[in-house]
């Protein structure tokens, strides 16, 4: 991806602004330093959480997720997000609706009531996906001014970023992932 295309619709979800505003601010600061443009998704709602809503109503889960995706489609930029649960929901809704016309038609029938439509024109990306693949490890190394050679850290990916691995960008790495470690190792940490 060329540098001029590093523009994303920023999806905050419900947990990040309410419980982890420092994560939101650090992502905003980091992406600004890297020249990655973030466009706030005005009017976005909760994702809805994959373990909650999908468990009792797949149609509701699809419609609410598609409503959020339609906001990014209106902006004209892929979604970037920080929460693994939001990532799982919006990625899976996006993939499902792009490939299942019957579900897409049902969702668009409901979205039409509020003047929205799911078109399937954008991608859903985690911040790690953007840093690792779109911006790139080699380029990111140029921005790492402070090193932490004596720092040892434990990495926890979380299940929603890795599973179901079918639609994640890190194919083949869901059982023994390394991409997060590689990002951390740029800082000199082990």
Question: Mean pLDDT of all residues in the chain?
Answer: 90
Q: Is the pLDDT of residue 2 over 60?
A: no
Please classify residue 98 by burial: count the beta carbons closer than 10 Å to its beta carbon, then call 0-12 exposed, 13-18 middle and 19+ buried.
middle
In this predicted model, what pLDDT tens digit does every residue of 51-89 receive, in sequence order?
777 778 999 999 999 999 999 999 999 999 999 889 999
∠ CA 156-47-50, nearest 5°, is: 60
Q: What is the DSSP letter of 149?
A: T
The span from the CA of 137 to the CA of 140, in Å, is: 5
**Tokens 């590689």 sit at which residue?**
182
When pLDDT is averaged across residues 118-133 and rounded to a whole number, the result is 95
**Tokens 């601010």 sit at which residue?**
25
Closest of 144, 137, 147 to residue 178, by C-alpha: 137
In this predicted model, what pLDDT tens digit does every residue of 9-49 receive, in sequence order?
999 998 899 999 999 999 999 999 999 999 999 999 988 87
Q: Is the pLDDT of residue 137 over 60?
A: yes
Question: Coil, strand or helix: which one is 38?
Answer: strand
Q: What pLDDT is recorded for position 176?
A: 76
| Cis peptide bond prior to 48, omega within 30° of 0 | yes
């Amino acid at each position: 991806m060329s540098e001029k295309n590093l523009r994303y619709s920023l999806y905050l979800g419900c947990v990040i602004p309410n419980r982890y505003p420092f994560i939101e601010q650090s992502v905003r600061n980091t992406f600004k330093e890297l020249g990655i443009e973030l466009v706030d998704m005005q009017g976005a709602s909760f994702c809805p959480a994959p373990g909650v809503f999908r468990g009792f109503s797949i149609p509701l889960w699809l419609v609410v997720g598609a409503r959020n995706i339609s906001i990014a489609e209106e902006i004209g930029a892929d979604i970037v997000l920080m929460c693994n649960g939001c990532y799982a929901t919006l990625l899976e809704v996006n993939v499902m609706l792009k490939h299942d016309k019957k579900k897409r038609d049902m969702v668009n029938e409901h979205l039409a009531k509020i003047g929205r439509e799911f078109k399937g024109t954008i991608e859903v990306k985690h911040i790690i996906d953007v840093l690792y693949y779109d911006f790139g490890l080699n380029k990111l190394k140029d921005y790492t001014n402070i090193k932490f050679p004596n720092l040892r850290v434990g990495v926890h990916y979380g299940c929603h970023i890795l599973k179901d691995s079918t639609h994640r960008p890190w194919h083949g790495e869901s059982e023994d992932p390394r991409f997060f470690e590689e990002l951390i190792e740029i800082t000199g940490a082990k």
